[in-house]
């Protein structure tokens, strides 16, 4: 009887470990590997890590918890979206830490006219036909919401706050699984882009 209990316990532990590791590996990495080099993937992880640290106010927490616990409604009501708290000087340092090929696969600079001053300046935009765009297209084959997002970026060549609403991210857990490294990357790049657009020419 004791032997049977020990055997059952051992089987249970094995099943639990199998379940744990299957959960850890359930997210596809194929799309990343098909569009980026190993070095570039490390750069992308650095981008996510930077965004998470800024979002979490440098507290030891995970991406999903920080996003869900951020008081989005309150911040939006006060005209201060959470991504506006990202330190832009540190964000510019982040750009210097990633390779040019990684940056150029995601972003480019386009001339923008600011009204009513009519002053012109460079603003960060998307690379509509770049490898990050293709990565989004590939993910969109299994996630219709990301396919829609990819199409909007391709059509506009830009990132807009309206393209991903925080309420949608919080409520549509199927499309926006915050444990999925792919979704974490998309949100990181989206919000960092908005922060750059808001602050690069703010002065």
Q: Distance between the two ends of the chain, CA-based, in angstroms?
A: 76
pLDDT tens, position by position, 116-155:
676 777 889 999 889 999 999 999 999 999 999 999 999 9
Residue/partner pairs of 129-133 with CB below 8 Å, 24 or more apart: 129/154, 130/104, 130/105, 130/106, 131/35, 131/36, 131/105, 132/35, 132/105, 132/106, 132/189
pLDDT tens, position by position, 45-104:
999 999 999 999 888 899 999 999 999 989 988 888 999 999 999 999 999 999 999 999
Angle (CA) 68 83 164, round 5°: 70
Angle (CA) 161 170 98, round 5°: 55
Residue 185 has pLDDT above 90, yes or no: yes
- Binned at pLDDT 50, 70 and 90, residue 203 comes out as low
pLDDT tens, position by position, 96-114:
999 999 999 999 998 777 6
Of 18-22, 29-33, 186-190, the range with the lowest mean pLDDT is: 18-22
> What pLDDT shows up at residue 118?
67
- Report the chain's C-alpha Rg in angstroms: 20
Contact 106, 130 (CB under 8 A): yes
> What pLDDT shows up at residue 109?
92
Q: What is the DSSP letter of 84?
A: G
Angle (CA) 179 145 196, round 5°: 75
Q: Match 């640290």 to its residue by tokens.
A: 53
């Amino acid at each position: 009887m004791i032997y049977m209990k020990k055997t059952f316990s051992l089987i249970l532990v094995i099943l639990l470990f199998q379940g744990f590791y299957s959960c850890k590996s359930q997210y596809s990495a194929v799309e990343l590997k098909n569009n980026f080099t190993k070095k570039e993937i490390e750069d992308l992880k650095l981008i996510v890590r930077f965004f998470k640290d800024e979002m979490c106010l440098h507290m030891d927490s995970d991406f999903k918890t920080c996003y869900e616990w951020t008081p989005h409604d309150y911040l939006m009501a006060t005209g201060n979206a959470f991504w506006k708290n990202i330190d832009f000087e540190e964000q510019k340092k982040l750009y210097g830490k990633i390779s040019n090929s990684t940056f150029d696969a995601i972003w480019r600079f386009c001339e923008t006219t600011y009204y009513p001053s009519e002053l012109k300046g460079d603003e960060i935009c998307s690379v509509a036909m770049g490898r990050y765009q293709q990565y989004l297209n590939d993910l969109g084959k299994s996630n219709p919401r990301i396919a829609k997002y990819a199409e909007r970026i391709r059509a506009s060549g830009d990132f807009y706050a309206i393209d991903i609403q925080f309420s949608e991210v919080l409520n549509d857990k199927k499309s926006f699984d915050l444990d999925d490294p792919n979704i974490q990357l998309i949100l990181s790049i989206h919000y960092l882009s908005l922060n750059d657009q808001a602050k690069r020419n703010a002065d």
